[in-house]
Structure 1
């Protein structure tokens, strides 16, 4: 007896389900066409004959009792005979129709299974899907070991990264509440340098394992890599949470320093990276890593030089943002604060803009030429600007949130620009 392979055994339930579905569909189509019209026609013929005999008996009784004349009797009986003949002709016409319905039923009985098989062969057994199904079965033991944290030495040598990723995606979709599966999927996407999908998978892993530092750090890394060094609000909140629990976590300090530097917060970057360098200097010589130390030194130098430029340019506009007391509980933790500088009367496009995660109010921001959106339109080249502030709940500068009343400012003014967030706005 011929035995079925593993892949064929996997397809057996699907094939049986397809056959049953085709038969059920054919039954639903054929049931209304099962010949009910013929049955209805025979019932109508019998009823017509019964009415004819009853009316004929009444006519005979009236004629025998001399209630109607012979001429009237003959006329009424002729009309009654004609009615019976017309009813019989109508039933005969209707009785011929089930032959056509039967042909339609036979056609449907043949077409539905054939169309189902054609659909199965053309779509569900397409070469691409069949290959994915085969890969999923072939790599299942490897994925099981990977998710269990075991040795992957038995991984198939011919398994490419795309094949492995598709098989892993199938497994994660089958068990969407497995945080380890989402983490592994995110790491795989990062290895393939697909940082967008990696970030989405790792965000789900963070949601399922909010207290896992490894998951949080992996998401932060994916966030920084997908945004050319910048951090989103979730990454910043995760780093702050890690450092509250472990103030000397070197990985979190490095990520926070890099993210702050790319966001233009040089003071925070310099403080965090300086602390990190001190922690590494206190480590035993056996644990020293000269390459890492040189990288940190380079980041500190970058933050320091940028800080000097910023300090010289900070005299442009110093901004303090406060929040209306009634909004204190309404602002979500992952909201973003945006500061804009625009021409008093000109293009709606801002001259300069800066965005950063919402922190403790009041918030102080320095706006300078480094925040200019166009090198041909530097902030310092405008004598007068209008400065505004907006809190976005979506992380998008045009998203819904709250805003402050814009304030016109002259460049020569040394006063702090004070903005108060108080007005709710919808998305632009």
Structure 2
């Protein structure tokens, strides 16, 4: 690189001198002053290159001749490793922990994100962004995607501290909806509505979910009819119980009938919560029975359909629950689906 530069520079100097000196010498020869002009040309030939080199070394940038060194791009793992090392040295850096949590969230490493948000809350208990982030990461990490317990407490507190926290209000409404508290869900989402840009996709999604909650308010997950969702799928399900398990039924038992995607997260796309009575029990699952607006029956082509008698009253399966399923069926199916509760969890 350096040799090529100097060679090119020398060639340019030679050419420039030739263009100046050759006509000068010819003119001097014609006038009989060849010796004097030759000496002058010799001085110019030696002096100009030396001055050029000296001037470049004085005010130029010789190191630039080596080229600009290539910078090795840093990847996300290196960036996280450096941030983690920084946090080891300065464990009280709230912004650093929050950046790490947000990075993990973007990478879908929800368990790591939840831990990092926990560090933020340990340092700054009133950090509403960390409260909402922890609750969201926790719900994604759970196999049933429920928002309850500590996550629900954090969401409620975040909204108390920051009433216009849009993400907090949205998730708080989802949590209340999941637990059948439709009026409370409506309160959260109606508080959220004025904060959204009119006509935006988010505003439309909230409006749709408000309509679903309104339709179900006071119904405590009562069976929906096909007319409640005329433009969507409707799975007619008949649930019975095996004679051998009849004596395991008890007062307070709750029947959950659900459909979840054949592949993907285990969160139900539709679920009905019923009080067992006369068998068989009939129910129709529709889009109106979704637990979240983005995850409903019409979002899948095939679903796994099952039913469970919960002894605790909770949606999450526990030891002693009675279960049965109809396997995977087509969402567009119009044929009645029969399920027999014949297993003990």
TM over 0.5: no
Higher relative contact order (CA 8 A, sep 6+): 2
Q: TM bucket by the smaller chain?
A: 0.3 to 0.5
TM-score, normalised relative to structure 1:
0.36
Give the structure with higher Rg (CA): 1
